[in-house]
Amino acid sequence: MHEIAARIHEYGDADVLRIETLELAPPGPGEIQIRHTAIGLNFLDIYQRSGHHRLAQLPATLGVEGAATVLALGAGVHGFQPGQRIAYAGAVGAYASARNLPARLAVALPDTISDACAAGAMLKGLTAHMLFAHVRPLRRGDTVLLHAAAGGLGLVLLQWAKAMGARVIGTVGSRAKAELALAHGLDHAILYREEDFVAATLALTGGLGAHFAVDGIGADTLPRTLAALRPFGMAASVGEVGGAIAAIDPHLLGPARSIALARPSVMGLVKDTALYQEGAAATLERLRAGLRIHVDAEFPLREAALAQRRLEQGGNAGVILLRP
């Protein structure tokens, strides 16, 4: 059997992505063979393509989440059957028409959840569960500050936090993105190009600050985010879309401020099968309960480089998908 895949042989910009036809071996023990129906894009893919996050080896097929149909089972695999719909996250190699996947990562999809929703939700849902259940358990009435609230991850995080009873403040780059985030439940939108998000957050919280902030921007946004926290609040750094993060002086955290900083990795959660299955189940439950996945754009798999450029340029509001 053959597969079409978007691969890299070296690190670099989107131009290093190549479309190749490869021979796909039968699934090994503990694996299932799947044919993708939808593939989710994440900034993690760009970190890996650029070499910011080094891959185990090159050449490599990019991508870490998707929805698919089961084609075949490897030895020792139970609980799945050919023709069954599944979704997964956390295994590099998703930018392909078909692949072999560790069966422990496959999650059966109910008929009520579309392939597009599943492909756009899995990694982001795992991230939300990690943040709000394990990094800093969210309590009803907490105030959460989210950066890039209209992005693919931002829209999932804000809906998840609202479902848990939080008040959510989000930064956005345009009025159109503000309207989208507000339509998904955001309480307050801060247009960061027009106003200082620290001052705005403090004003919205009576000078106290947020209980929890999630920053995927990095660069100088992270240290500024620390100033938007209330005493005993926490910031979680989950990305560096805006550039590398400089060393953080512990004195920025306390004792005067008495705040905390976390640097969690959703790929670390994926390595723990029990936590992964817990997070995947929570994601499916949120989707069944009404979590909306806003698809900004879909691209053919052969246009993976174009799709990544759109994500890198910040032009998207919501998720971007590839279709084999």
pLDDT band (50, 70, 90) for residue 24: very high
Confidence of residue 93 (pLDDT cuts 50, 70, 90): very high
Classify residue 286: in a domain, yes or no. no
Looking at the structure, tell me whether residues 157 and 233 fall in a common domain: yes
Phi, psi of 100 (to 5 degrees): -100, 135
Q: Is residue 319 included in any domain, yes or no?
A: yes
* Distances, alpha carbon 268 to alpha carbons 28, 56, 275, 289, in Å: 24, 15, 10, 27
Question: 19 lies in a domain?
Answer: yes
What is the C-alpha R_g of the chain?
20
Count how many domains the chain has: 2
Contacts of 143 (CB under 8 A, 6+ apart): 166, 167, 168, 169, 204, 205, 209, 210, 211, 212
**Is residue 138 scored above 90 in pLDDT?**
yes
The predicted model gives 30-59 an average pLDDT of 96
Residue 64 is part of a domain; what is its CATH number? 3.90.180.10
Q: Which domain does 98 fall in, by range?
A: 2-109+294-323
Residue 104 — pLDDT band, cuts 50, 70, 90? very high
310 and 178 together in one domain: no
User: Is residue 95 within 8 Å of residue 149, measured between CB atoms?
Assistant: no
Report pLDDT digits (tens) over 145-199. Answer: 999 999 999 999 999 999 999 999 999 999 999 999 999 999 999 999 999 999 9
221 falls within a domain: yes
221/250 same-domain check: yes
pLDDT of residue 244: 86
Report the share of the chain in percent with pLDDT over 70. Answer: 100
- Tell me, yes or no, whether 276 lies in a domain: no
Q: Is residue 114 part of a domain?
A: no
In this structure, is residue 277 part of a structural domain?
no
- The sign of the CA dihedral 321, 176, 50, 250 is negative
- On the question of pLDDT at 1 being above 90, the answer is no
Average pLDDT of the chain is 96
- Token pair 């910009």 is found at 13
pTM as predicted: 0.96
pLDDT at 316 over 90: no
Kindly state whether residues 45 and 93 are assigned to the same domain.
Answer: yes
Same structural domain for residues 130 and 178?
A: yes
- Is 197 found in the same domain as 135? yes
Contacts of 28 (CB under 8 A, 6+ apart): 74, 75, 100
CATH number where 178 lies? 3.40.50.720
224 in a structural domain: yes
